[in-house]
Amino acid sequence: NNTAYENQQLNGASSSTLGSYTARLAAKTNLTYAYYLRVTADLGDSYRYNSCTLEDGTSFNGVSAGSLPILYATDGSTILPCQGNVTIGGGVMAVEVDSATGTYNGSAGYSDLQVELSVYLQSTDEETLNSLTLTEESGGLTLTIADTDPASTTTSYTIDGESYDLYRVQLTCDVEVNNYFDSYRISVSAGGVKKSAKLEFDITNLWADAGGSVTEHPLYRTIATTSDWDEVMALYGKNQENFRVIHDLDFGGATLASGSRELSINRLEGQFQNDSGTPYLGNFKYTGTQPSFIATATTQISNLKFYSITLENSDSTSSGSRMGVIRDNMAAIENVTFENISITSKKYSYVGCVAYSQGTMEDVTLIDISITTTGGSYIGALAGYQNAAVKNVSAYGSDDSIDGVTDGVASANMTSGFTLSAASSSYVGGLIGYLDSAALNDIAVSSIKVQGGSYVGGLVGLAIPVSTSKDNSISASLVTGTTSVGGCYGYWDSGSALYYHTVDGCYVSGTSTGNANVGGGDLSGVLKNISK
């Protein structure tokens, strides 16, 4: 069944085309032609079940025949993946995906893509079989029936708890990929009845392993050159698709083309042949209002190095929000390096390599990150805002960029290639500006310089966690601010424990008259094995 949430946009017909409630029920198929859905809770705040109304107040609760709505993106621009006319009533029919297979081999792309379906029908007469058609509801796939094999006898098939004697028709389909998604919804029509089923591919990845032992489900657009990147992203970079980078992409210090930035991506993965390393993507600059390389990341960013990227905000007066290599992140970020990243954000809030993140981060490395602000809040080299778990992160300034450190101890005059210059900003962290309801574990930070206003920490500016954080350290670093300045945290909320935190060889200071909570920051709650 399709799902929706308040103000989710549906098919774009105006309310005047909807007709009466009675007419829509009689037509059975016109229920999709609505444009806003409102969902209410029938089973408590944790549930959203079988209850929807149109913007005009018409209720479809209890509808026994018709189609569930098709969901669009909240701005109405594109249909979401896996949306289709999920019919209610109107005949007995079932669809199952038996297999969806193919092979992938890097720049050669996909081959031998094939889908096999079983369609269960009440009749296999000539008229019914001739009426049999199938589509992928988002338009992501074009399916062509290559072979039809109807059974001559019926088989018992259970639908919604009732048993039916149905004929099984096996379909073999050739596949053309239009959009590269994680999954698809196949809709089959026959004899005036339409049913659908979810489809995921089992792809043998020969690029990752020539022996063919690697199987994956998502489909990816392959990018091997910077020209590929510009061409592919101009056409598909805002469709929430999946992309795989299979060679280093060096843009030669150029300004990034307009079609190659502000991207909306589901997955972005790097993969050299035989998994022999991590490709890098970068050496470009982008100046504009609220500039970001990736505007939205949804599911996964992995096995990539973002290298030598310069982002500069041309808006010097507005107090805007969210600027970074990745602006809005819901994806899991795994095995990713950010190196030599320079961000000049002016007065913007929520600034970092990832500006605003609700996705987990693991096995991340940051090297020589430079962020310069003239205002705003929530500034962090890794993330301005983070409310999912962060684990196994290494952050440091490169050796040749460091001065003012003697025998592993930082001085007030320390300089580093890893510097956050945000003296007029609040909630500034060497890694994260605002850590919201999430744990921070296995973190190692060294040789960085953090300059903020209030609530400044070598790791986190403001932390309001609900989970224990442990095994974190910062060394040979300079952390300065005004109020609530700490080697690890500017402010740590009570209610969660800190275990095994180390501050070693750091210079921590407050610079304003009457400053408070400087040195350890503003720490409350359970503190164990804290060393300075």
Q: Which residues lie across from 449 on neighbouring strands? A: 419, 478
Predicted confidence at residue 518, as pLDDT, reads 65
* 226-235: average pLDDT: 96
| Confidence label for 160 from pLDDT (cuts 50, 70 and 90) | confident
pLDDT digits (tens, 9 = 90+) for 383-414: 999 999 999 999 999 999 999 999 999 999 99
Predicted confidence at residue 523, as pLDDT, reads 58
pLDDT digits (tens, 9 = 90+) for 104-136: 999 999 999 999 999 999 999 999 999 999 999
Predicted confidence at residue 70, as pLDDT, reads 56
Sign of dihedral through CA atoms 166, 168, 174, 180? positive
pLDDT digits (tens, 9 = 90+) for 333-367: 999 999 999 999 999 999 999 999 999 999 999 99
Predicted confidence at residue 91, as pLDDT, reads 73
In sequence order, the 6+-apart residues with CB closer than 8 A to the CB of 76 are 9, 12
Residue 398 CB: number of other CB atoms within 10 A?
Answer: 14
Task: Name the strand (E) or helix (H) holding 344.
Answer: strand 332-346
Using the predicted structure, report yes or no on whether residue 42 has a pLDDT greater than 50. no
pLDDT digits (tens, 9 = 90+) for 186-212: 999 998 899 999 999 999 999 999 889
pLDDT digits (tens, 9 = 90+) for 258-300: 889 999 999 999 999 998 899 999 999 999 988 999 999 999 9
Range name among 38-52, 96-110, 363-377 with the lowest pLDDT average: 38-52
Q: Which residue has the higher pLDDT, 288 or 37?
A: 288
In contact, 79 and 138? CB cutoff 8 Å: yes
* 368-377: average pLDDT: 96
Distance CA 281, CA 46 (A): 42
Residue 355 structure tokens: 């500006």
From residue 177, how far is each of 141, 204, 212 by CA, in Å? Answer: 5, 16, 22
Using the predicted structure, report yes or no on whether residue 89 has a pLDDT greater than 70. no
* Mean pLDDT, rounded, of the chain: 84
Predicted confidence at residue 19, as pLDDT, reads 41
Distance CA 496, CA 437 (A): 10
Could you tell me which of 326, 369, 370, 317 has the C-alpha nearest to residue 348? Answer: 317
pLDDT digits (tens, 9 = 90+) for 2-28: 444 333 333 433 333 334 434 433 333
Q: Which residues lie across from 138 on neighbouring strands? A: none
In contact, 324 and 366? CB cutoff 8 Å: no
- List, as own/partner pairs, every contact residues 200-204 make where C-beta atoms lie below 8 angstroms and the sequence separation is at least 24, other chains included: 200/100, 201/100, 201/101, 201/102, 201/113, 202/99, 202/100, 202/101, 203/101, 203/102, 203/103, 203/104, 203/110, 204/101, 204/102, 204/103, 204/104
Predicted confidence at residue 71, as pLDDT, reads 58
The DSSP code sequence of 385-432 is EE-S-EEEEEEE--GGG-EEEETTEEEEEEE-SSEEE-TT-EEEESSE
Predicted confidence at residue 191, as pLDDT, reads 85
Q: What number of residues does the chain have?
A: 532
Range name among 15-19, 74-78, 154-158 with the lowest pLDDT average: 15-19
- List, as own/partner pairs, every contact residues 208-214 make where C-beta atoms lie below 8 angstroms and the sequence separation is at least 24, other chains included: 208/271, 208/273, 208/274, 208/275, 209/274, 209/275, 210/274, 212/103
Residue 71 CB: number of other CB atoms within 10 A?
Answer: 20
Predicted confidence at residue 493, as pLDDT, reads 79
Q: What percent of the chain has pLDDT over 90?
A: 68
Q: Which residues lie across from 184 on neighbouring strands? A: 199
pLDDT digits (tens, 9 = 90+) for 425-435: 999 999 999 99
* 305-323: average pLDDT: 93
Terminal-residue alpha carbon distance, the chain: 56
Distance CA 213, CA 111 (A): 16
Q: Which residue has the higher pLDDT, 450 or 39?
A: 450
Could you tell me which of 304, 220, 296, 307 has the C-alpha nearest to residue 270? Answer: 304
Q: Which residue has the higher pLDDT, 26 or 144?
A: 144
Distance CA 155, CA 250 (A): 59
Predicted confidence at residue 122, as pLDDT, reads 92
Distance CA 346, CA 374 (A): 5
Predicted confidence at residue 316, as pLDDT, reads 84
Predicted confidence at residue 7, as pLDDT, reads 38
Q: What percent of the chain has pLDDT over 70?
A: 78
Predicted confidence at residue 469, as pLDDT, reads 87
Predicted confidence at residue 75, as pLDDT, reads 56
